[in-house]
Structure 1
């Protein structure tokens, strides 16, 4: 079981790595051509709006509700009934998305008041953002249907194509950035059209694969379809519970719109670097284990359910600790190497470094949420994550009201980093409460491997931290280096840190079989 899961996770991680590398190339191009300004702040906010809604509804609530019901149909119904369910979900989802997209385009000014109220103080920035949002918003329609197609493919064990699909977003946006920068009066308008086109391209990329598998649905709409009604019933509370992290990041964007120009961009680039391990490990693990957990719950196999969840958590800790330490200690070098070119200055690097360190401290919490939440959704329990999510958001808001808002009013430098720190703190709270709920209901019991794993991962991480602390130069030294020198030095540090970590893991007794072996004894 765990060998198959590990292989599937590795496939997704490899495909995601390709996409993330292109994503960094995309962001390097953005930083070089556009820098950090009021206009780029406007674009990043505009781009965030459909992406936020996509993660909230399509990749968040919809996926968490759709996959368990689909698993139930596969386990207990005929092939014809399963395909009929998929067709009705496709029709209902498409109709809702079309309506939401139409409303979103028409209500662009109101959405900007909600997502970036600080833009009202800059009429030129606000007008540019409204124009871009009307162009970008239909991306929600295409990318949400893409998420539906990805859920189908993942549920049938086809993980590579969905993980590779975001590559097309990066390719299209890189082309649009160069086209806009060199051939348009307002380059960010061209970039907005690139987002629109990228959504359609990603959906088109997946359709042939569904057709080959006999899963390409002919959308249907019925007023009372039992499977669709059950999905909607599960989806409504999951809208909030599965997207707490996105809500916290949205709060950061709203408050950052009141800060000095560049603050939204600094948070964006920081978040992009944290998203790298989150996508490589957290999303990959969640994608693999949710269908597995859903099938095990449908088959009433509680022991297998526990083993799958325990395996996911152990692998998460093994990867989260070094990733967190690496991001914290290499925050400045990473930002300087990747983005400090052209319009992106050394000051921008220093400011983004502060928020990257703050976000990085919450990375284990972000990753654990990705693995713990499917433990509820696979059991068709969408209520518990909602209650926990509400508490996490309230804690985030309380911290920001007590600490961050006064900093904004007093114009304290580095306030954007305090926003990131509050979001990181909320992620830890959310993960802890999810874990406690699973333990309290006897849904999950940790295996006996945990004490040994904690010592191995902790010791190896400390050794890796010492390696980076001794060899990584100060930020000023990185800024003085030539671009190629930065890249070579950073590559050497990253590869060296990875080697040190895994060598120490082996020296402390961890073997590959420990990640493949099924644990049958509970503590």
Structure 2
């Protein structure tokens, strides 16, 4: 008698690591990347300053980088990870591989077409994203020429983000978090070694971006091979998983990536302001992104596949508890980071960038926009952890509505604040719209029951207030006047900043311990 064969069972899944441990791994790798990113920006500032060439490069780099965040790490990641997590939870490995192959082929074909069109239409893109450059032929031509070199980065890094999303879904967080280190190393090497060999030295940075994209993609492929999920691209728009990803992607573009759209609008308007405005915004944005990337994005990276699995398993209470954990973790780190950036704006800018072609005026102007961005840092971080609460449940419509409201509000804030505050007004408008976005996301999750306040919020907020008060007191007491920072040499600035950071960090964490907050309180599996 022939036995009836049973359908293949999904592979037994290992118990995932705790959220605190996973966030720590991603945070450490991201910290390394961000530190090298700051070194990269210090090198760029030393070699190119904040003049015409730097402004042109930052626009040529920001356009594909913005689209990367919008489509690859924003819309695509938020749509693909929940679908992949569902397949991982409910389907055998062969079906997961079919999904990966179909998405790789479809995504790759679309990205290739977009890249070719963008390279041909580089001057048009430059005119759209930096219309103020049209009054300066040299700056406009330079930005357009560099954009043709940097835009393929979108294709390469989007496929890198696709590979990283697969690894994250299987709780392999370290490799995708380490990958951006390669971008920083490539750009540093390009500035130091390649720029002296080129007729137009700033063009070396554009080639550094292109090389970095290829390095990042090929670095992740061996790790996909170990999982048995190395893609064999196949264009298949009819695959059920691909159709689901595409359905979720379109509205997700306006969800988690609204802050990136707002930052790009800042660049567009800054191109009409005095020369240096684009660079001032870039340097201040880079500093505000350090805590955002190390902590906010690290937590968001970890909780999205976790929330997706909890939703697939219909664990409503655990879903709400995970979101609550993420919000508390963001407040624990984001609030002191924002306060420190506000209080140490000029010292930080001076310590990192006051070399070579950068002037004291550049430090002052960059510090103005850094304070404005810092006012919204906590909101930027909260958006990163609140939006996955919708995407994990495959709800992209609600973040879309909220994103459109926030984007329109940002435009209004820009028009109101750019005249009295110039480039700093653009940064402040971005922060205000981020707070509006955060409030609406939080209210939506609470209304739908996806988030519910866990016990101990009142005590936790009081503990945070006391610890942050101690941090502020120490910074104000130890920090010299701004004039002393500008007059000191680079070594002295670095030493003084190191002492301030160490003293402030030690004070904050000792204060947390004294008021009763312990590491074990944030261990959630």
Under a length normalisation based on structure 1, what TM-score does the superposition of the two structures give? Answer: 0.96
Distance 1:244 1:223 in 2: 27
What SS is found at the alignment partner of 1:240? Answer: coil
1:165 maps to 179
How many matched pairs? Answer: 511
1:340 maps to 354
Distance 2:125 2:492 in 1: 44
Distance 2:101 2:197 in 1: 43
Per-residue deviation at 1:517? 5.7
Q: Does 1:466 align with 2:473?
A: yes
Q: Does 1:99 align with 2:113?
A: yes
Query: Are the counterparts in 2 of residues 328 and 357 from structure 1 also a CA contact under 8 Å?
Result: yes
1:478 maps to 485
2:522 maps to 515
Q: Does 1:394 align with 2:401?
A: no
Distance 1:70 1:140 in 2: 22
Matched ranges for 1:28-177 at <5 A? 28-177=42-191
1:236 maps to 250
Distance 1:25 1:377 in 2: 34
Distance 2:293 2:78 in 1: 17
RMSD of equivalent CA atoms: 1.2
2:381 maps to 367
Distance 2:297 2:192 in 1: 30
Distance 1:16 1:222 in 2: 34
Structure 1 stretches of 4+ with a deviation exceeding 3 A read none
Distance 2:230 2:16 in 1: 30
Change (3 A) 1:216 1:257: same
Among residues 296, 303, 308, which one is paired with 1:282 in the alignment?
296
What SS is found at the alignment partner of 1:415? Answer: helix
Query: Are the counterparts in 2 of residues 142 and 199 from structure 1 also a CA contact under 8 Å?
Result: yes
Per-residue deviation at 1:3? 7.2
Per-residue deviation at 1:185? 2.1
Q: Does 1:422 align with 2:436?
A: no
Output one character per residue of 1:19-53: Cα deviation in whole Å (capped at 9) or x when no partner: 11111110000000100002110100110000111
Distance 1:349 1:147 in 2: 34
Q: Which runs of 5+ in 2 are unaligned?
A: 1-14
Query: Are the counterparts in 2 of residues 2 and 311 from structure 1 also a CA contact under 8 Å?
Result: no
Q: Which runs of 5+ in 1 are unaligned?
A: 519-523
1:521 maps to none
Query: Are the counterparts in 1 of residues 19 and 524 from structure 2 also a CA contact under 8 Å?
Result: no
Change (3 A) 1:517 1:115: closer
Query: Are the counterparts in 1 of residues 195 and 203 from structure 2 also a CA contact under 8 Å?
Result: no
Query: Are the counterparts in 1 of residues 18 and 524 from structure 2 also a CA contact under 8 Å?
Result: no
2:511 maps to 504
Q: Does 1:254 align with 2:254?
A: no
Output one character per residue of 1:486-512: Cα deviation in whole Å (capped at 9) or x when no partner: 001000000100000011111111112
Matched ranges for 1:270-419 at <5 A? 270-404=284-418, 407=419, 414-419=421-426
Query: Are the counterparts in 1 of residues 16 and 171 from structure 2 also a CA contact under 8 Å?
Result: no
Distance 2:109 2:72 in 1: 13
Distance 2:377 2:448 in 1: 26
Output one character per residue of 1:225-278: Cα deviation in whole Å (capped at 9) or x when no partner: 111001100011001112100010011000000010000000000000011000
Per-residue deviation at 1:131? 0.6
Distance 2:234 2:353 in 1: 47
Output one character per residue of 1:443-465: Cα deviation in whole Å (capped at 9) or x when no partner: 11011121111111111001100
Per-residue deviation at 1:75? 1.5
Per-residue deviation at 1:516? 1.7
Distance 1:512 1:64 in 2: 29
Distance 1:363 1:263 in 2: 20
Distance 2:349 2:255 in 1: 32
What SS is found at the alignment partner of 2:295? Answer: helix
Q: Does 1:203 align with 2:203?
A: no
Query: Are the counterparts in 2 of residues 132 and 192 from structure 1 also a CA contact under 8 Å?
Result: yes
